[in-house]
């Protein structure tokens, strides 16, 4: 499911673990049930404000820290803003990606992921990197050439705020999957575990699709305090979508 390393939620997540196991037996979950499960993960990580601001930094009793996700989101936003202003090829050169002209879409995706996704030295890094990979695959699913990648990423219709919300949505899913996948396989079997997590993923994606931008993100200094504040605000508003 993206994250494959065995992991179990902290001991104080007992109530949520029981609810996840119980609901995983059901074929079709309701929106309130799915929302409640996501709320539980956010609550276990300190709540919306803590996750958005990075206050816990993976403190005891939490499943991880959202700090790596915010770092990846900042690099991604900075790159997309540069693409809009100067074009894909120039932005790629400035980001240290070299000349991507004529490269296959797969090579371009891997190069972007390595530069913007960072390393995977911790479980939180791995979740953030996989979230970016999922967003890239979603965004560039129809691209077959360098020119099509360039056209998509340079489009005036590309909503950066919604992209960042969707990135944090993928990150929430990766955390959920990483925390519960092994437990679910043991209790309901691999097939049912995948089907259950598929419902979680689809609910998150549906909730964040086509949301209208709330702010003008042009001119943001993504590498400075202003950018960090905007990233935290977008992380917070993403979690708020799920009632966190």
pTM over 0.85: yes
Work out whether the CA dihedral 116, 159, 42, 57 comes out positive or negative.
positive
Residue 121: predicted pLDDT? 83
Q: What are phi and psi of 156, to 5 degrees?
A: -70, -20
Distance CA 173, CA 103 (A): 30
Distance CA 135, CA 187 (A): 30
Which segments of the chain have a pLDDT < 70? Answer: 1-8, 54-64, 244
Residue 62: predicted pLDDT? 56
Distance CA 68, CA 81 (A): 20
Distance CA 28, CA 12 (A): 27
Name the residue with tokens 């097939």. 191
The mean of the pLDDT values for the chain is 88
Residue 69: predicted pLDDT? 92
Residue 244: predicted pLDDT? 65
Residue 60: predicted pLDDT? 45
């Amino acid at each position: 499911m993206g994250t494959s390393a065995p992991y179990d939620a902290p001991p104080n997540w007992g109530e949520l673990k029981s609810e996840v196991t119980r609901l995983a037996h059901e074929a079709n979950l309701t929106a309130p049930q799915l929302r409640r499960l996501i709320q539980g993960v956010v609550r276990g990580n300190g709540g919306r404000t803590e996750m958005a601001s990075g206050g816990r930094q993976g403190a005891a009793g939490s499943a991880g820290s959202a700090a790596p996700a915010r770092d990846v989101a900042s690099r991604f936003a900075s790159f997309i803003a540069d693409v809009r202003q100067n074009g894909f090829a120039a932005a790629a050169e400035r980001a240290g990606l070299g000349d991507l002209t004529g490269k296959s879409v797969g090579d371009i995706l891997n190069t972007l992921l390595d530069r913007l996704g960072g390393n995977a030295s911790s479980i939180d890094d791995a979740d953030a990197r996989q979230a970016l990979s999922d967003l890239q695959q979603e965004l560039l699913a129809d691209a077959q050439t360098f020119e099509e990648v360039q056209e998509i990423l340079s489009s005036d219709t590309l909503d950066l705020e919604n992209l960042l919300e969707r990135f944090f949505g993928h990150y929430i899913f990766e955390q959920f999957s990483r925390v519960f996948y092994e437990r679910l396989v043991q209790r309901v079997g691999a097939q049912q575990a995948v089907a259950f997590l598929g419902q979680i993923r689809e609910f998150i994606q549906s909730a964040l699709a086509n949301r209208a931008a709330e702010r003008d993100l042009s001119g943001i200094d993504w590498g400075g305090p202003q950018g960090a504040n905007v990233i935290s605000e977008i992380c917070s508003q993403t979690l708020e979508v799920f009632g966190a």
